[in-house]
Amino acid sequence: MDILISNKLKQGDTIEVIAPSNPVQEDDIKFLKETEKLFNAKGINVIYGKHIYSDTLGYGATPEEKAEDLNDAFLNKNVQAIFCAKGGENSNTIFDLIDYDIIKKNPKIFCGFSDSTSLLNMINQRTGLITFHSSTFKAISDWDDSSVFEDIIKKLMDGENILQKQEEKVEIIQEGQAQGRLIGGNLNCLSRMVCGKYSLDFDNKIIFIEDLAEESNPKFVSSFLYYMKQNDVFSKINGIWIGSYEHESGISLEQIVRDVIKNEYNIPIIKSYNFGHIAKKITIPIGVNAKIDTSKNEKIILLEKQVNI
């Protein structure tokens, strides 16, 4: 499948905010408006999907409502980028309703993280579109550090192509070199995309993983990883990039990864502290060719551009 790369954001462009996970609630609005002001200051307009407040089911919008907003945003010629408003639990409910042909014909920047992991990876797999594991629109002003918005601007407006800045610490869990297209995000979401109609292609990929410890304790994380192991994910991938997981027990994600994969796979594994459910997180392109080399100072690099400059 051909790789689709969106044009970079520029002054005068428009972002549409949609809510494919949990609906926007009253106490979210002030954060959305604060983020809107940040983009407005960069010359970027912001509009909102029709169903972002919908709670038709009593536990959120219907899959049809969510999918309508996503499909309409990609179809809208006046929209150049799409951000997920916030996280949640069930963005995967719209897989059957996404018009992947519309996306192929209208490639745009698509950003989110956490529950949006499901959509970021599925859209990339079904269309070839480079998507972005970044911040949700709300989090940019709610709990993100100011560096998050700055990184979004550097990546999506300025075309910066750096994953590891000099000041960022990267640990070597297992040495080696590897190349492959990036796939990943929230481990809980990824583990549910291993088998079935909407399984992901893990062949020759570099997988990056993180999780929210408040929702996934070490036993859950172990279960997620063993499910992936039992379905041969780790024999297919070329490397692992571990991100944030901060559990009160002090048990780390890298420890659980070691416990699960042991020394059974000859792939490089690195750990960084710059993505996940944390205040300081970088924007990571899904579908871009990357390289891990544990012998280098810059241990993970992109081999292709993220956006058309």
Is residue 26 situated within a structural domain?
yes
- Closest to 121 measured CA to CA, from 211, 68, 199, 6: 199
pLDDT at 25 over 80: yes
Which amino acid would we find at residue 299?
Answer: K
pLDDT tens per residue, range 44-80: 999 999 999 999 999 999 999 999 999 999 999 999 9
Is residue 181 situated within a structural domain?
yes
Residues β-bridged to residue 82: 16, 110
264 by DSSP, 3-state: which? coil
Domain holding 58, by residue range, is 14-156
Is residue 1 situated within a structural domain?
no
pLDDT tens per residue, range 109-160: 999 999 999 999 999 999 999 999 999 999 999 999 999 999 999 999 999 9
The CATH number covering residue 251 comes to: 3.50.30.60
pLDDT band at 1 (very low <50, low <70, confident <90, very high): confident
Whether 195 and 295 share a structural domain: yes
Do 19 and 69 touch, CB atoms closer than 8 A?
yes
pLDDT band at 209 (very low <50, low <70, confident <90, very high): very high
pLDDT at 166 over 80: no
Is residue 165 situated within a structural domain?
no
Q: How many domains does the chain have?
A: 2
Is residue 149 situated within a structural domain?
yes
Whether 51 and 148 share a structural domain: yes
The CATH number covering residue 22 comes to: 3.40.50.10740
Whether 193 and 110 share a structural domain: no
Is residue 147 situated within a structural domain?
yes
Is residue 9 situated within a structural domain?
no
Whether 182 and 137 share a structural domain: no
Report the predicted TM-score, pTM, of the whole model to 2 decimal places. 0.97
Q: From the CB of residue 169, how many other CB atoms can be counted at a distance below 10 Å?
A: 9
